[in-house]
């Protein structure tokens, strides 16, 4: 009985790994296409920026243009430091 359970478990694991390999194919296809990756990344960045903009307008203390410029400069500086460390 134990051997039969082990066989079923191994078969299930094989099917799962095959399914996961098939699921990776579209991701590899998009990853190999610079246009698709660029469009997807650009749309994601635009949606993120719109969300941050909507958040900033709803919070009264940081809805001033000067505060937004300062926060933007701080975030750019932090991202530059991260890139410097990564490279």
- Alpha-carbon distance of 41 to 49, in angstroms, equals 12
Instruction: Give, for all 87 residues of the chain, the pLDDT tens digit.
Output: 556 666 677 788 778 777 777 666 666 666 677 787 788 888 988 998 888 888 878 877 767 778 878 888 898 888 888 777 764
- Alpha-carbon distance of 52 to 59, in angstroms, equals 11
The parent domain of residue 40 ranges over: 3-86
Please give the structure tokens belonging to residue 29.
């296809």
Of 72, 40, 44, 48, the residue nearest 80 (C-alpha): 72
Please give the structure tokens belonging to residue 64.
């001033």
pLDDT at position 3:
62
pTM given for the model? 0.44
Residue for token digits 């990756």?
Answer: 37
Question: Could you give the number of structural domains in the chain?
Answer: 1
Please give the structure tokens belonging to residue 2.
């134990």
pLDDT at position 41:
82
Per-residue DSSP letter, 33: -
pLDDT at position 28:
64
């Amino acid at each position: 009985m134990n051997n039969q359970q082990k066989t079923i478990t191994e078969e299930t694991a094989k099917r799962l790994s095959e399914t996961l390999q098939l699921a990776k194919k579209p991701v590899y296809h998009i990853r190999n296409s610079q246009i698709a990756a660029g469009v997807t990344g650009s749309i994601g960045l635009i949606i993120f920026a719109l969300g941050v903009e909507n958040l900033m307008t709803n919070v009264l203390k940081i809805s001033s243009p000067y505060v937004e410029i300062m926060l933007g400069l701080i975030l750019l500086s932090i991202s530059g430091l991260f890139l410097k460390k990564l490279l």
